[in-house]
Amino acid sequence: MSVEDLLKEKIRQEGRVISDDILKVDSFLNHQIDPVLMLKVGDEFARRFSNSGITKVLTVEASGIAVALMTGLALQVPVVFAKKKQPSTMGGDTYCGQVRSFTKEEVIEIVVAGSYLSAEDRVLIIDDFLASGAAARGLLRIIDQAGATLVGVGTVIEKVFQSGGESLREKGIRVESLVQIGSLSGGMIEFLN
């Protein structure tokens, strides 16, 4: 079975529609994690973005880390996760972005230390969900500040109706989603792929 079909099966069996906007997949993606499935997800992103000269995988803590790590493993490149607010041990030059959290209803600052992104880097953004695109925009800002090159955005589940993917694609950014969801209305999960 393809990784896309495995994901859809998992979402059908274990996903819970909390509202017309929120799908909970805490049982295998972002609270409890299925490492074997994540390995397959990482392999698939590496396959889709092969021959793109990627030098870094970039994500945001915490739910993006597992997917990004497996993608970095498959591509054999380092993974960098942006931290939420600046820890006291970070110091020095940093790149910053802002992300409006949809589920937590707050704006958070995300930070990457200057040492871990440079103008020579070709960066793949990886995240668990693509909804409004807020996290991706925050990471784009960080990539811009570093003068690095964005190769594309890979996301496990794109909630197409929240149009973050559309706005990224309109900018000419390559977006690869393993599962696309068209609607969660009435508690029903409508897959587009």
| Long-range contact pairs involving 52-55 (C-beta distance under 8 Å, separation at least 24) | 52/122, 52/124, 52/151, 52/152, 53/122, 53/151, 54/122, 54/123, 54/124, 54/151, 55/120, 55/121, 55/122, 55/123
Distance of alpha carbon 18 from alpha carbon 16, whole angstroms = 6
Binding of residue 107 to a copy of itself (CB under 8 A): no
145 binds a copy of itself (CB under 8 A): no
Q: Is 96 in the site for a copy of itself (CB under 8 A)?
A: no
Q: Per CB under 8 A, does 39 bind a copy of itself?
A: yes
Q: Which is nearer to a copy of itself, 27 or 163 (CB)?
A: 27
Please calculate the CA angle 128-177-160 and round it to the nearest 5 degrees: 90
Site string for a copy of itself, 10-29 (x = CB under 8 A): --------x---x-x-xxx-
Residue closer to a copy of itself by CB (options 51, 76) is 76
Tokens of 57: 């995988």
Residues within the interface to a copy of itself (CB under 8 A): 18, 22, 24, 26-28, 31-36, 38-39, 61-62, 65-66, 69-70, 72-73, 76-81, 83, 87-90, 103-105, 112-113, 115-116
